[in-house]
Structure 1
Amino acid sequence: MPTEITLLGWSTVLLFAHLMLQGQTATRERGLGWNAGPRDGEAAPLGPLAGRAQRALTNFQETWPAFIALALALTITDRTGGIGVVGAATWFVARIAYIPLYLFGIPYVRSLCWLVSILGLLLMLIRLV
């Protein structure tokens, strides 16, 4: 199985990690009753940690579809390997590193990490075209 597809599977685990982190931090701040209830009405604003977890999840969701498309396209066109796999691994590692950088509020390095993940996607695209 191509490494790009293996990383695609692991990226789904990373999505679940983001979802669990965001859900747990929001529940800690808003309470179990809010989480278990219908969530009608206006929700209490998120504090710093839950807000960062939400924004990190949203940011992941913005680049994840491109990763999915590129990993599948590389596999379907039999262009896996080379700089494509380097790009996929770069994207994946950068997305893992992004989480604690965002949660701890580390500026600039977090932005650089995001830029590295985009570079990974570009490497995958270069391999594809």
Structure 2
Amino acid sequence: MGAAVPVELKLLLVAVVIGFVQIVWTAAASSGGERNLAWLAGPRDDQKPVGVVAARLDRALRNFLETFPLFAAALIGCIFAQKLGPQTLYGSGLYVIARALYVPLYASGVAVVRTLVWTVSAVGIVMVIVAFFR
């Protein structure tokens, strides 16, 4: 048997799953209204309006796509530098849990709590970065 997989690496893969779910959820929410199958299968040159929830999901996905590479790079750096420990574990956990909560909060239109949850995810990234430099 191989070496045990670090929990942080498992959390990284959970974050990938969260991102994949966001992509599917956003696509499903954005496919209604004037967006018929012919338009969805085509080049989508002409913009079609989307509903409020679909627009929120798209913004949440864009936000994930901005933060996830930073989290992944910081965590992979810590793994290669053998800097894993409580700080990377808690930082990774904060990031993943906050990102899982962020999407439904954003889709529901919960403003202040959503921003606080985003801040928690950012703190998680910072914790991982700081662990690398220790």
**Structure 1 length normalisation: TM-score?**
0.94
Unaligned ranges ≥5, structure 2: none
Instruction: Tell me the residue number matched to 2:88.
Output: 84
Equivalent residues in 2 for 1:19-58 (5 A)? 19-29=23-33, 30-40=35-45, 42-58=46-62
Name segments (4+ residues, structure 1) moved above 4 Å: none
Q: How far is 1:52 from its partner? A: 0.5
Instruction: Tell me the residue number matched to 1:6.
Output: 10
Helix, strand or coil at the partner of 1:108? helix
Match of 1:113 among 112, 117, 134: 117
Unaligned ranges ≥5, structure 1: none
Distance (Å, rounded) in 2 between the aligned partners of 1:33 and 1:101 = 32
Q: How far is 1:58 from its partner? A: 0.2
Deviates more, 1:16-25 or 1:30-39: 30-39
Q: How far is 1:34 from its partner? A: 1.8
Please tell me whether the aligned partners of residues 91 and 116 of structure 1 are also in contact (alpha carbons under 8 angstroms): yes
Q: How far is 1:9 from its partner? A: 1.3
Distance (Å, rounded) in 2 between the aligned partners of 1:2 and 1:10 = 13
RMSD: 1.1
| Equivalent pairs, count | 128
Q: How far is 1:45 from its partner? A: 2.1
